[in-house]
């Protein structure tokens, strides 16, 4: 039997929080601090999570989740908004400067007027992590619903005659 492909994913926003990753993947994969060159991490007006877009002479520090399975990558694809494009990027590991190929979720609209400033993970942790983690739990419950039995079936047989 062939081994499932292992994917590396560069994360730079809410997925820097182990709690959020654990809710999505049911585990926290090994990771390394990494830098993505020629990108900038912006805040998005009206949202609590960031976006990255290509910007020359800029860089984003995040981490690379290592060894994700195909099903885990599909969960992240579903979790990331449709406005993100999964893109193959090269990151530099901070500990040894090794280069590594990874997926990153890049904001599709590079000239989006809602992008501004610099997103701050520490501020996000204090203000939004708890509610975002709860929202993520709700997302996972909805994602799992198609495999569950239909809600209608649960009420069958309860008619009062």
**Is-contact 45 116, C-beta < 8 A?**
yes
**Is-contact 19 129, C-beta < 8 A?**
yes
Nearest to residue 60, comparing CAs of 17, 10, 15?
Answer: 10
Residue among 80, 95, 118, 123 flagged as catalytic: 80
What is the rounded CA–CA span in Å between residue 15 and residue 76?
10
Q: Determine whether 95 is an active site residue.
A: no
Neighbours of 41 (CB within 10 A): 24
Q: Would you put residue 23 in left (φ > 0), alpha (ψ -120 to 50) or beta?
A: alpha
What is the rounded CA–CA span in Å between residue 30 and residue 151?
37
Please give the positions annotated as active site. 80
């Amino acid at each position: 039997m062939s081994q499932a492909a292992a994917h590396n994913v560069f994360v730079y926003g809410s997925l820097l929080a182990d709690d959020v990753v654990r809710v999505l993947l049911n585990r926290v994969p090994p990771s390394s601090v990494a830098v993505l060159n020629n990108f900038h991490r912006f805040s998005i007006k009206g949202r609590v999570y960031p976006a990255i877009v290509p910007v020359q002479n800029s860089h984003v520090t995040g981490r690379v989740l290592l060894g994700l399975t195909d099903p885990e990558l599909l969960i992240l694809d579903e979790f990331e908004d449709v406005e993100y494009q999964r893109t193959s990027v090269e990151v530099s590991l901070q500990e040894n400067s090794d280069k590594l190929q990874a997926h990153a979720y890049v904001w599709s609209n590079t000239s989006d007027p809602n992008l501004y400033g610099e997103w701050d993970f520490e501020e996000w942790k204090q203000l939004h992590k708890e509610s975002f983690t709860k929202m993520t739990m709700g997302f996972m419950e909805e994602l799992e619903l198609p495999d569950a039995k239909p809600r209608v079936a649960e009420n069958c047989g309860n008619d009062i005659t």
